[in-house]
Structure 1
Amino acid sequence: MKVGLLDSLGARYGRYWAALLKELGVEVATPALPAAEALALGRQSLPDAPVQVQLALGRVLELGRVDAVLLPQTAPVYSDAWGEALVELLPRRISSLPPLVALPDGGREMVAAATELGQRLTGNPGRVRLALERVKPLANEKREDMPPLKKGSRVTVAVIGPRALLADTDLSGGLRSALEELGLYGVYASDLPAAQVAERGERAERAETAPLGEKELFGALKLLDGKSAVRGVILTAPAGDAAHHAALERLAGKTHKPTLLIDVDAGQREWSELEAFRDRITVDAAARPAGPEADA
């Protein structure tokens, strides 16, 4: 049996799933095309889809004949059909795809999902139990620390957006370079401690019924919003993703700091509004010296 394993969509536990498949005796296929070529494949098939979906589809298509493809679950926001049901929607839009399996990317559900996957792939409970025991250390939640909030003389900005965008350098690399060239230091939501983001996300309005992606965006903003070193907030939506754009528009009203909302496409390196935003917060930073950090 040959199974594809995607490392896109902001996957954090790829090593765990790769090790599990190896212990189960399953041949693993991983994408190898340059991101631009994989994205072109996805865009040709789904020109109207969000950029992270196009890239994931391109990665699936490049794998060719496999028995299944594993990809991480994404955290949806309101009215986010792709985020809620990616593995169901893709086969409806594109015929002849292999079976797609969305797997928890961390959390308590991961081991249960691994057990079910092992049974599905091998039908051998004993082998599955042994494999789970051997890869157990890789399932442990990693110790995560807050990233530094200052870097040299650069002005710090919080960069808030979905993990599927910010944690994938094939998608967010151009933005990261653009901020550096403008003399800004970005603290990215995807680099924040997941447990602290989740804790603050539970403080969101109607948190008990809100989609996970809404709570993650709110939690990341609130983790950084009260930090005096953070002079502005850049909200980043994947290109073509109306649901995340709308979610970030709502989020913009939950901070009093200067805020800029942009769409980010793969390979994009310039945003005309970034320079003016840099100038605005640089003036603010010069006028208001940073004091002790506040607790968010």
Structure 2
Amino acid sequence: MKVGLLDTLGARYGRYWAAFLKELGVEVAVPTLPAAGALALGRDSLPDEPVQVQLALGRVLELGRVDLVLLPQTPAVASDAWGEALTDLLPRRISGLPQLLALPDGGPEMVAAATELGQRLTRNPGRVRLALERVKPLAAEKRAEMPRLNMGSRVTVAVIGPRALLADPDLSGGLREALDALGLHGVYLPDLPAAQVAERGERLENAARAPAGEKELFGALKLLEGKSAVRGVLLASPARDGAHRAALNRLAAMTHKPALVIDVDAGQTEWPELAAFRDRVTLGAAARTAPDTADEAGEAS
């Protein structure tokens, strides 16, 4: 059996799954096309769908003849059909795709999913147990610290959006360069400690019934907006993704700091509205020479 393994959609544990498949002796195919080529394939088939879906589809198409394609599960927001059921929707929209399987991207359920996958691929419980033991260190939750909140004379802004967008340099690279050019220091959701984001996400109203993606976005906002170094909040939505745009609009209404919601497309390098946002968040920042001791202690917590 030949299995495709995608590294799109903000995957964090690609090394774990690649190592696990290798230990099982499974033939693995990985995408090799430049991102622009994969996006072109996806856009040709689904021109009106969210950019992260287009990229994932392009990566599947470029793999050609494989028996199964593995991709990371993504936390959905409200009314997010693609986030909730991408592996079901893609084959309905595009005929001839191989079977797709979404796998947990971290968390305690990842090992259980690996066990089930290994049994499916090998029918050999002993080999599966040995493979799981050998790759166990790669399943450990990565210990993360808060990223730097101060960067020289730059003004700091929180950049919040789905991991599928912000953790993928092929999709978010243009935004990062644009912020740098404007003299802004962005602190991005994927760089935040996942445990701290999750803890604050549980404070969302009706958290028990809220979609996982909504809680992650809210948790990132609450983790960052209380930091004195963070002067504003930039909320980045994947282009053509109405569900995430609506979720981020709701989030913008929850913060007391200057906020801006933008759409981000692959290859995009300019957002005219960013200059005005920069001016808003830098207003009064020049008079702020350095955080006091209390602020520094708070930002380190």
Q: TM-score, normalised by structure 1?
A: 0.98
Q: What letter is aligned with 1:209?
A: R
Quote the Cα distance in structure 1 between the aligned partners of 2:145 and 2:29: 33
Unaligned ranges ≥5, structure 2: none
Q: Does the residue aligned with 1:92 lie in a helix, a strand or coil? A: helix
Match of 2:28 in 1: 28
Matches within 5 A, 1:270-285: 270-285=270-285
Q: Deviations over 1:68-123 (max 9, x none)?
A: 00000000000000000000000000011000010000000000000000011111
Unaligned ranges ≥5, structure 1: none
Q: Is the 1:231–1:284 Cα contact (8 Å) retained in structure 2? A: no
Query: Are 1:258 and 2:258 an aligned pair?
Result: yes
Quote the Cα distance in structure 1 between the aligned partners of 2:37 and 2:187: 29
Q: Deviations over 1:264-294 (max 9, x none)?
A: 0000000000011111111131245544144
Match of 2:123 in 1: 123
Match of 2:244 in 1: 244
The alpha-carbon distance between structure 1 residues 220 and 157, as it changes in their structure 2 partners (threshold 3 A), is same
Q: Does the residue aligned with 2:146 lie in a helix, a strand or coil? A: coil
Q: Does the residue aligned with 2:283 lie in a helix, a strand or coil? A: helix
Q: Does the residue aligned with 2:208 lie in a helix, a strand or coil? A: coil
Q: What letter is aligned with 1:168?
A: D
Q: Does the residue aligned with 1:286 lie in a helix, a strand or coil? A: helix
Match of 1:235 in 2: 235
Q: Is the 1:66–1:98 Cα contact (8 Å) retained in structure 2? A: yes
Quote the Cα distance in structure 1 between the aligned partners of 2:126 and 2:19: 17
Q: What letter is aligned with 1:158?
A: A
Q: What letter is aligned with 2:233?
A: V
Matches within 5 A, 1:59-208: 59-208=59-208
- Count, aligned residues: 296
Q: Does the residue aligned with 1:208 lie in a helix, a strand or coil? A: helix
Q: Deviations over 1:127-162 (max 9, x none)?
A: 111110110110011111110101111000000000
Q: TM-score, normalised by structure 2?
A: 0.97
Deviation at 1:30, TM superposition (A): 0.5
Quote the Cα distance in structure 2 between the aligned partners of 1:102 and 1:229: 38
Q: Is the 1:3–1:66 Cα contact (8 Å) retained in structure 2? A: yes
Quote the Cα distance in structure 2 between the aligned partners of 1:284 and 1:126: 64
Quote the Cα distance in structure 2 between the aligned partners of 1:287 and 1:72: 45
Aligned-residue CA RMSD (Å): 1.0
Quote the Cα distance in structure 1 between the aligned partners of 2:205 and 2:266: 32
